[in-house]
Structure 1
Amino acid sequence: MGLVERLLYKYVDAGTFPKPIPLGGRSVGWIDSEVDEWILSAVEERDYRLATSDRSAPAI
């Protein structure tokens, strides 16, 4: 299992990424609308953090 796969399953186990759908054998897939929703949520969280961060700190 590669790095990306391990990271995905780490997020699945933490409940922060959609659960895979068994496809047979050792194959799984994800519902694209659930992954799209997860991506949009991550973008919103990032944008919120950027908007609320302290911009008065001097750049280094």
Structure 2
Amino acid sequence: MTLSKSQQTENQRLIRRKEVQAKTGLGASSIYALMEQGKFPKAINISERRVAWIESEIDQWIYERIAQHKAAIATMEA
């Protein structure tokens, strides 16, 4: 499942960690661990001591988790 171009354009903003945590339900350590494993969007530097994530990338990650969940359920029911 991928986001449409309009959805991607709508979500072209930077969000800080607390908002990423609120959207995903993940804690800070889980976010950074998944980033390290290449399983979560990388943060970008917005200043010397600040990072943020591109909201559309976080949304895409969420949609992919939902799609995996639905596929797993469909497989179990088949």
- Taking structure 1 as the reference length, what is the TM-score of the superposition? 0.78
Who wins on radius of gyration, i.e. which is larger?
A: 1
Identity %: 35
Q: Which gives a bigger RCO, structure 1 or 2 (Cα 8 Å, sep 6+)?
A: 2
Q: Which amino acid aligns with 1:28?
A: V
TM-score normalised by L of structure 2:
0.61
> What is the aligned residue count?
53
Structure 1 spans left out of the alignment, 5+ residues: 56-60
Q: Which residue of 2 aligns with 1:49?
A: 72
* Off by >6 Å, runs of 4+ in structure 1: none
